[in-house]
Amino acid sequence: MSLVPRPSALVTALAFLIAACGNATGDAAKPVPADTPAAPAVLGHSKGAEDAPLTVIEYASPTCSHCKHFHDDVMPTVEEKFIATGKVKFIFREYPLNDIDTVAYAMANCAGENKFFDVLDDLFEHQPDIFEAAKTGTIKQVLLDIGARHGIADEKAFDACTTNRAIRQRLADTIMTGEVFGVRATPTFVVNGQMKAADQDVRSGEAFEAYLNGELAKLAQ
């Protein structure tokens, strides 16, 4: 499986986030809205037992076709055979490739931690619609429709979500965690602290299952 390179996307995404946060004499001087969703206990969004022997972190983008492949074709196996059985704690971390990703992730965070993965599922399901809307200039309406299905009632609420400074800062902080591991493409995985590129091990549910079983066997030794 090939990766989606992003040599300057991190700079672009961070600049977009920082600009949205304003400065000491501008937007940053405004109070954070009282209804800002609480931050998760750790950066990212987790599934599975806290004491699982293996921790898998995924850095991904909702407009990355390889991320969609992993979400659609590999993640169900991870859910069934590793997360549900207490073998893996899975952490999803936002790694936007473009401004569309950044806005989509801000919306997903605004929906609330208990709805984040529902919004993510919706974003991947409608990735072709997002691509088409990006070409025709109707991307905001597509994202508004997705948000409406998860409690973001209208355009005013959507705009409040996607310009929320606390959420933008959280996304910027999450992106920076990828720098620690040398993340440069999506999807990229970190398995028990070691970076794992999206190579042949993630081409299918069966291949990733074999890889994770191998990592568990190493721990047992």
Q: What six digits make up the tokens of 202?
A: 């993630």
Total domain count for the chain? 1
Reduced to 3 states (helix: H, G, I; strand: E, B; else coil), residue 187 is coil
Helical residues (DSSP H) of the chain, grouped into ranges: 9-21, 65-69, 75-78, 99-110, 116-125, 127-136, 139-148, 155-162, 165-181, 205-220
pLDDT for the residue 187 = 96
In the DSSP assignment, the letter for residue 111 is: T
Residue 22 has pLDDT above 50, yes or no: no
The pLDDT score that the predictor gives to residue 9 is 46
Share of the chain above pLDDT 90, in %: 78
Distances in Å between the Cα of 173 and the Cα atoms of 24, 43, 55, 68, 180 are 19, 8, 20, 23, 11
Per-residue confidence (pLDDT) for residue 44, from 0 to 100: 94
What domain range is 78 assigned to? 4-30+37-220
Q: Looking at residue 182, which CATH number applies to its domain?
A: 3.40.30.10
Mean pLDDT computed over 23-49: 55
Are the CB atoms for 21 and 169 separated by under 8 Å? yes
- Read off the pLDDT of each residue in 149-175 and give the average, rounded to a whole number: 94
Q: What share of the chain is helix, strand, coil (3-state, %, to 5)?
A: 55, 15, 30
pLDDT tier, 221 (very low <50, low <70, confident <90, very high otherwise): confident
pLDDT band for position 42 (cuts 50, 70, 90):
low
Residue 214 binned pLDDT confidence (cut-offs 50, 70, 90): very high
Q: What is the pLDDT of residues 172-210, one digit of tens each?
A: 999 999 998 999 999 999 999 999 989 999 999 999 999
Six-digit token string for 71? 């979400």
Could you report the per-residue pLDDT of 87-140, keeping only the tens digit for each? 999 999 999 999 999 999 999 999 999 999 999 999 999 999 999 999 999 999
The pLDDT score that the predictor gives to residue 1 is 47
Strand partners, 171: none
pLDDT digits (tens, 9 = 90+) for 32-41: 333 555 444 4
Structure tokens belonging to residue 191: 């398995």
Range of lowest pLDDT (18-22, 55-59, 190-194): 18-22
C-alpha span between 54 and 216 (Å, rounded): 7
Place of tokens 């004491």: 51
